[in-house]
Amino acid sequence: MSAISYMRRALELAELGRGKVSPNPVVGCVIVKEDKIIGEGYHQKYGEAHAEVNAVNSVEDQTDIVGSTVYVTLEPCAHFGKTPPCANLLVDKKVGKVVIAAFDSNPLVGGKGIQILEEAGIEVETGLLQEEARWQNRRFFTQIEKKRPYVILKWAQTQDGFVARSDYSSKWISNSSSRRLVHQWRAEEDAIMVGKNTAKYDDPALNVRDWVGKNPLRLVIDSKLELSQSLKLFDQAVPTICYNTQKTEESGNLEFVKLKPGFSLDQILEDLHNRNIQSLLVEGGSFLLNKFIELGLWDEARIFTSRNKFGEGIKAPLIPKPSSENIPVLEDHLSIHYHV
C-alpha cells in the first residue's frame, strides 16, 4: 500500500465519528510498521479518547509502535482538554514518523502539535490529502476560521417550484426515502432551525425518528413570541432555543434568548458560535431560507425536487450556485449546491 492509501484509510475511519464528536473534528489514525497496518482508530465520542489513542491501544504488541509511521488526518493535539495531548503520546511511544493531512487552525493547537513531535526528533510530513481532510472537517474549520457554524440549507420543492400551498400546507412533497435521509442529516448536525411560519403551520418535532442518532439542538425564531406553547417545539423533549425580542428565560430544556429589535441572522450565528455549535441545518420556511441566501450566510444547500405539482403557492428559494451533485432518491431528485 502507498502512503496515500494509508491516509485514505485514515479518512475512512474518521468519517465513522460523524455526528458523535462535535465540537471536536472527526479524526482518523493508522499506524504502519514495515508496510503493514498494525493499528488503527478514530475519535468515537466527544470527551473520550482521540483517534491516536484508540489507534495506539489497538496495537497488539506495543513494542511494535517504536519506529512506526503514524498517518493522521489532523494535526495531533498539543493541549490538555477533555483528554491529554496526543502529540505527547506519540513521543512517549517513540514513533518514527508522523504523516499529517491537515494543519489544525485551532489556536490551541496551531502548529504546537507538530512542534512537540519535531523537538522530540520525530520526522513530520504534512499536507498529504490536505484538501480532502479539510473538506471532511469543513464544519470544524468553518467554526474556527469564520467564527460561525457551517450552515446547511434544506428544503423540498414541487416540480413547478413551490415549497407549500398558499395556505402554507406542504405535507408531504418528498417521498419517504427522502424524509429518512433528512433524519440521517439531523443526526449528523449540531442544531436545526425553522422560522415562525414553519413552526406554526407544520408543527414539526425537528427530532431524529427514522434514523439512529442524537437529536440536534432545536432553534426557532419567533420575534414577538406569538407561537402557541402547545407546539411540539416547546414540549421540552429536546433542548430548544427560541430567539425573540421580548425576554430571556430558561425553563428545563427550553430557553428563550432575547435579541435586540431588528436583529440580524449574524447575531444568532454569533450566539451559536459562542455555544460551540459547529453546524446548523436550516429546514425552512421560504422567508428564512431566502434571508440566509440573501446575506450569503450559507455553505451548502440540499434541495429535494419531487414530481408533484401545486400550480400555485409559496415559491421555493432560488439558489445562486449551480448544483455540484445530483442524486436520484427513488422518484425524487436531490441536488446539492456548495457556496464556494
Show binding-site residues: 50, 77, 86, 156, 170, 172, 186, 198, 202, 206, 209, 223, 283
Amino acid at 264: S
DSSP track, 239-296: -EEEEESS--EEETTEEEEE--TT--HHHHHHHHHHTT--EEEE---HHHHHHHHHHT
Distance CA 282, CA 146 (A): 18
Which phi and psi angles does 9 have, rounded to 5°? -65, -40
Contact 137, 12 (CB under 8 A): no
Cell of 7: 491516509
3-class secondary structure, 114: helix
Contact 161, 188 (CB under 8 A): no
Contact 297, 265 (CB under 8 A): yes
Contact 67, 93 (CB under 8 A): no
* Site of grid cell 497496518: 37
Contact 149, 278 (CB under 8 A): yes
Measured at the CA of 287, the angle between CA 284 and CA 292, to 5 degrees, comes to 80
DSSP class of residue 149 equals: P
Cα-based distances in Å from 285 to 104, 156, 157, 160, 189:
36, 10, 11, 17, 19
Catalytic residues: 52
